Structure 1
């Protein structure tokens, strides 16, 4: 239902500012197929950050983008994703890779559902979750790996308008120790959670989580063939 609802209301305000007619986007692969991502790189956030920056510069791209429903090997870098016999590896959002300090905007009207500094290695770091209502349907958008300063003076229930800047990409020390990027995720049912919701799930639970977390590109409109005309 949410997918059809969002399709009817497109386009939304951009979550990050880029001109699809001028700015190139680099599709980035963080699965086992990307053999350039060695364990040495993944184990050192400075090397990992350099890898992302160099890839963007090499392709003359402002942002790297991708990752929804991607089965990723990169989560082996953090014990945060090890849950018993089956670790979490299936990514539930879209990542937008870019420079720390990149502004983040609300794509549609809403309110602050919750926020938190999820300060574990590999976690979201500074996180904001918005609640939205469309045609009587309630859903949420999650913004992870933000600047810690973005959480200052926030209040649950605080109104947010479409196009309003709500945050910026955080640096390594405040974003869960990742190269600077935004994790953007759609969530229908928050399941009672506050300031956090899994952005990565066990592969065996993919049907449940992908159903509750539809493709974020329904809002972003960034993952299309026309997004990469010259890469």
Structure 2
């Protein structure tokens, strides 16, 4: 266990929920975006209706208001965008996604300041993104919120204080978050390096150990049972 993982584990009961869903009581659907999910073969991921129908049709079929999943998942869905292309494609997901309607509020899990924000508007990217900086036990770390509404970043200022439990952002719609069905990409980052308003949410599988060390499991904060 790394230092930041140990700190998050010791403080896991202190975090405020990042969304309005009660994952210990309300049913939720776990999405699978790996090659093992044969249902994805029938989904046109670059077509708004097809992708949205798959996400929200799955939730309706399972009588769930929210879907989750993704940390450490080796996904096939990123081939739809050049953002993730390289000699070895980036396909290993470094965050947890929470799939729910546009406009769903987002709350700060702990006291924070605004580290940075940006509209990452390339096709398949995050769209509007906010990164918060936190400190626990004298150690700084960051949380990233991707696929937000543009209104989420309109009145932000770098260094602004955001108290634990404050509603500070909202899920974006399909166009705002650059052709993804509404959801939140939530990621924990220890060292931001020189990144500002953006940070890789997907890595090359061959670099898994390095990236997962710097981006520990977000469920240490989310506390979603069974994932």
So what's the TM-score if we normalise by structure 2?
Answer: 0.96
Q: Report the CA distance between 1:19 and its aligned residue.
A: 2.4
Q: Match of 2:29? A: 26
- Dislocated runs of 4+, deviation >4 Å: none
Q: How do 1:42-121 residues align onto structure 2 when only pairs under 5 Å count? A: 42-83=45-86, 85-121=87-123
What SS does the corresponding residue of 2:109 show, helix, strand or coil?
Answer: coil
What SS does the corresponding residue of 1:122 show, helix, strand or coil?
Answer: coil
Q: Report the CA distance between 1:21 and its aligned residue.
A: 4.6
So what's the TM-score if we normalise by structure 1?
Answer: 0.94
Unmatched tracts of structure 2, length 5 or more = none
What SS does the corresponding residue of 2:147 show, helix, strand or coil?
Answer: strand
Counterpart among 132, 142, 146 of residue 140 in structure 1: 142
Give the aligned CA root-mean-square deviation in angstroms: 1.1
Q: Report how many aligned residue pairs link the two structures.
A: 224
CA change 1:93–1:21 in 2 (3 A) is closer
Q: Deviations over 1:106-162 (max 9, x none)?
A: 000010000000001100000000000001100000000000011012111000111
Q: Match of 1:163? A: 165
What SS does the corresponding residue of 1:132 show, helix, strand or coil?
Answer: strand
Unmatched tracts of structure 1, length 5 or more = none
